[in-house]
Amino acid sequence: MTLYGYFRSGTSHRTRIALNLKGLDYDAISINLAKDEQSEPLFKAINPQGLVPALQTDDLLLYQSPAILEWLEEVYPHNPLLPKDAAGRMQVRALSAMIGCDIHPINNRRILQYLRNELSVDEDEVLAWCQRWIAEGFAALETLLAKDEARGKFCYGNSPTFADCYLIPQVYSARRFKVDLTPYPHIMAIDEHCRTLQAFFDADPMNQPDAPH
C-alpha cells in the first residue's frame, strides 16, 4: 500500500496510527500542503478533491480518512479498532465524529487560509478561532470520557479504537494552536498513554520523513 499524506496533516496522522495498529506496511509519499502540492494536477489526478490522505492498494484507491479506517477494519479485522457490540461501536464512532466532524474540519488549513487570505483575518484572530473550537469540542469530549466508568486508559474500553486514532492527532493540533489543555485531564491521560505505544510513536508527525529536522 502507498499512503499519500503530509506529516502535519491530522487526517494523515490518524490514518498512519490505524495502519500501524493493524501492523500493516505501507510506503509513504509526501504531498507538501505548505507548498500547495495537493492542488497540482499530478495529485488531483489521484484524488480530484485535492485532499490528503489517499491510500493506494494494488487495485483500489481509497480517500477520506473515515472511509479508509472503516475499510481497514473490514479488510484487516485483526487488532480490531471497533468494539464487538453495537452499542460500543456506536460510542466509538460518535467520539470519533466529535473530532472528525465538529473540531478538525473548521481548523484545517483550507479554512485557516480562507480566513487569512480572503477575509484578511490577522494571526491572533486565527489563533483565537482555532482555540475556540478545539476548546469547545474538547470540553464535551472530556465530559463524556469522565462519565464512562468502564473505560480503561483509552477513549473506550481497554484497547485502542478509532476514537484514539482521531484524538491523538487533535491533541497534537491543539498544542500547535496553544490551547490550554489543563481543563481536560482525561484527554491528557489518554494522550500520554497512547504516546508510549509504538504504533502512535511511529505515526507522530515529527517522526515522519517529510518532517523538518
> In this structure, how many other beta carbons lie within 10 angstroms of the beta carbon of residue 74?
9
Percent of the chain clearing pLDDT 70 (strictly above): 100
As a whole number, the mean pLDDT across the chain is: 97
Q: What is the CATH number of domain 2-79?
A: 3.40.30.10
> In this structure, how many other beta carbons lie within 10 angstroms of the beta carbon of residue 198?
9
How large is the average pLDDT for residues 118-141? Answer: 97
Looking at residue 28, its pLDDT comes to: 97
User: Per residue in 62-81, pLDDT tens?
Assistant: 999 999 999 999 999 999 99
- For 86-200, which CATH class? mainly alpha
CA separation for the pair 189, 154 (Å, rounded): 9
Provide the pLDDT confidence category of residue 172 given band limits of 50, 70 and 90: very high
C-alpha distances out from residue 207 to 19, 146, 202, 204, 212, Å: 15, 31, 6, 5, 9
**The three cell numbers locating residue 170:** 487533535
Entry pTM: 0.96
Shared fold status for 2-79 and 86-200:
no
Contacts of 105 (CB under 8 A, 6+ apart): 111
Provide the pLDDT confidence category of residue 208 given band limits of 50, 70 and 90: very high
Beta sheet of 61-63, edge-to-edge order: 27-30, 2-5, 54-56, 61-63
Give yes or no for residue 147 having a pLDDT over 90.
yes
How large is the average pLDDT for residues 30-41? Answer: 95
Domain chopping of the chain, boundaries: 2-79, 86-200
C-alpha distances out from residue 177 to 23, 84, 107, 146, 212, Å: 31, 36, 10, 24, 18
Looking at residue 186, its pLDDT comes to: 98
Looking at residue 213, its pLDDT comes to: 80
Percent of the chain clearing pLDDT 90 (strictly above): 100
Our measurement of the distance from residue 56's CA atom to the centroid of its chain's CA atoms, rounded to an integer in Å, reads 19
